[in-house]
Amino acid sequence: MRFDSLDEWLTWQEQLNPAEIELGLERVRLVLQRLNLETPDFTVITIAGTNGKGSSAAMLQSIYSTAGYRVGAYTSPHLQRYNERITLNGVEADDALLCDAFEQIECARCADSGEVPLTYFEFGTLAAIVIFQQAEVDIAVLEVGLGGRLDAVNVLEPDVALVTMVDLDHQSWLGNDRETIAREKAGIYRANTPAICAEPAPARSLVAHAAEIGADYYGLNEQFSYGLNEAAGEGRWHWRSLSQHHQSYDQLPALGLHGAFQLQNAAGVLMAVTLLQSRFAVEEDELITGLKQAQMAGRLQRMAIEGYANVECLLDVAHNPSSAKVLREALAARPCDGETHAVIAMLADKEIGAVVEMMLPVVDHWYVAGLDSTLSARAATAAVVVSSLPEATPALPFADVGTATAAALKKSVTGDRLVIFGSFYTVAEAKSFFEDVGCCEAN
């Protein structure tokens, strides 16, 4: 099978395996063996977690790129272009590179020993590995798509495994409680290999699994710690390794990624950098520059809106109770002078009521949108989301995110704030709306 365009390849991949999600490593491992890439020539940092994976990957790529290394990053989902998923030193893989990788994978998939029914995500994971090998990257930063233990990314042996915050999400696939989900995330840990947890109160199952398999465990507030240096200036913070590595940074600046919660992600990232220091040396000034320059779309992302210079606009992919809690705390920590208008659109299989309840204290006016059902069969209608709001809540329903955003802006005045959240799809539609009207990302 061969296609001439990326869109054709992606459309075909979506239909190849009838299951949108089919966890397991057998299929991707078999094709990887046929490609002779079971042990590629690059160092692997694997990241799992409920929230914080993408931000951690962005910081790692920025730090190592700043230090002069060739870095590949594989993240998901994308917002507007599939190419966003695979980057080389922050530059998206172009269509030709992706199509070439897909063709190599298809040849291996259909080898003499039989066709392998890869999923859409498995194709992308293999493409990332093929591209990183061809590009001769030094380091590959791989973000787990779902869970950890049975996710396609876990087919490669990590040199460092990092788990960020763990909470309830994807329960139908991972389990109905935090302990069960954390055990799935901990599946990326390996014996005698650095296993980092960037959460101050990790699930018992995660720590127990690391001990059971003999992983070299590094836990936040045990083997490493961080804290604010308020006397040194706004946003200043410190980080210390409490393990045998004896590394410390006392005057770290504010991060490029907005939100105090990002310091927790950065703490785990610095532990990973410290553990790899003997192989990939990073000077302190390079580390600082990398942290300051790291960017991630849809994480408290500020937009500059023509005609609304005095209205703060934020995009955030918060889509579960724990990420909504982080978003609420970020908004509460920086109250606006006026009122907060929120555009929300979500997937039907998410905990809509819990997300809404989390955000109620910081939102004055709600603009509820439906998502495009042609992009996801799981899209919730505006009516479904409205039904999760308390009866007396000021809320208006809209057919789509763009229309809801336009209405929210029309009602906003100087000093107000507009927050658009609820899903990666929500942020993608908002970004498309802003691009159509000539707006751009703010500093």
Q: What confidence tens digit (pLDDT) does each residue in 174-195 have?
A: 666 889 999 999 999 999 999 9
Q: What is the pLDDT of residue 171?
A: 57
User: What band does 20 get if pLDDT is binned at 50, 70 and 90?
Assistant: low
The mean per-residue pLDDT over the stretch 35-55 comes to 96
Write the DSSP string, 171-236: HHHH-SSHHHHHHHHGGG--TTSEEEE--SS--HHHHHHHHHHT-EEEEBTTTEEEEE-GGG-TT-
Q: What is the pLDDT of residue 401?
A: 96
* pTM, to two decimals: 0.92
Spatial distance between the Cα atoms of 154 and 163, rounded to a whole number of angstroms = 13
User: What band does 111 get if pLDDT is binned at 50, 70 and 90?
Assistant: confident
The mean per-residue pLDDT over the stretch 150-170 comes to 91
Q: What is the pLDDT of residue 24?
A: 82
DSSP 3-state of 332:
helix
The mean per-residue pLDDT over the stretch 414-428 comes to 96
Average pLDDT of the chain to the nearest whole number: 92
Distance, first Cα to last Cα, the chain: 45
Residues 308-336: tens digit of each pLDDT = 778 999 999 999 998 999 999 999 999 99
Least confident of 13-27, 77-91, 281-295: 13-27
For residues 154 and 177, the answer to whether their CB atoms sit within 8 Å is no
The mean per-residue pLDDT over the stretch 33-57 comes to 96
Q: Where are the beta strands (DSSP E) in 13-163?
A: 43-48, 71-74, 86-88, 91-92, 139-143, 160-163
User: What band does 233 get if pLDDT is binned at 50, 70 and 90?
Assistant: low
Q: Which of 329, 330, 320 is nearest to 300 (CA)?
A: 330
For residues 193 and 163, the answer to whether their CB atoms sit within 8 Å is no
Q: Which of 278, 275, 273, 410 is nearest to 341 (CA)?
A: 410
Q: Which domains does the chain have, with CATH numbers?
A: 6-293 (3.40.1190.10), 301-441 (3.90.190.20)
Instruction: Quote the tokens at residue 31.
Output: 């094709």
Cβ atoms within 10 Å, residue 438: 9
Over 80: is that where the pLDDT of 374 sits?
no
Taking CA atoms, 206 is separated from 21, 89, 143, 212, 269, in Å, by: 24, 31, 18, 10, 18
- Edge-to-edge strands of the sheet including 139-143? 91-92, 86-88, 71-74, 139-143, 43-48, 160-163, 194-197, 216-219
Instruction: Quote the tokens at residue 411.
Output: 């009602």
Over 80: is that where the pLDDT of 127 sits?
yes
Spatial distance between the Cα atoms of 35 and 31, rounded to a whole number of angstroms = 6
Quick one: DSSP state of residue 261? T
Taking CA atoms, 256 is separated from 27, 102, 163, in Å, by: 38, 34, 21
The mean per-residue pLDDT over the stretch 354-358 comes to 95
Q: CA torsion 146→150→151→155, rounded to 10°?
A: 160
Q: What is the pLDDT of residue 31?
A: 96
Q: What is the pLDDT of residue 170?
A: 57
Q: Which H helix or E strand runs over 250?
A: strand 248-252
Instruction: Quote the tokens at residue 296.
Output: 């991630």
Q: What is the pLDDT of residue 232?
A: 60
The mean per-residue pLDDT over the stretch 21-37 comes to 90
DSSP 3-state of 15:
helix
Spatial distance between the Cα atoms of 132 and 421, rounded to a whole number of angstroms = 32
Residues 266-304: tens digit of each pLDDT = 999 999 999 999 999 999 999 999 999 999 989 899 988
User: What band does 41 get if pLDDT is binned at 50, 70 and 90?
Assistant: very high
Q: Torsions phi, psi of 112, nearest 5?
A: -55, -30
Residues 388-399: tens digit of each pLDDT = 999 888 899 999
Spatial distance between the Cα atoms of 346 and 381, rounded to a whole number of angstroms = 8
Spatial distance between the Cα atoms of 248 and 253, rounded to a whole number of angstroms = 14
For residues 42 and 173, the answer to whether their CB atoms sit within 8 Å is no
Over 70: is that where the pLDDT of 163 sits?
yes
> In this prediction, what percent of the chain has a pLDDT beyond 90?
79
Over 70: is that where the pLDDT of 260 sits?
yes
Q: What is the pLDDT of residue 157?
A: 97
Q: What is the pLDDT of residue 443?
A: 55
Cβ atoms within 10 Å, residue 324: 23
> In this prediction, what percent of the chain has a pLDDT beyond 70?
94
Write the DSSP string, 390-425: -TTS-EEEESSHHHHHHHHHHH--TT-EEEEES-HH
- Alpha carbon of residue 93 to chain centroid: 18
Q: What is the pLDDT of residue 89?
A: 97
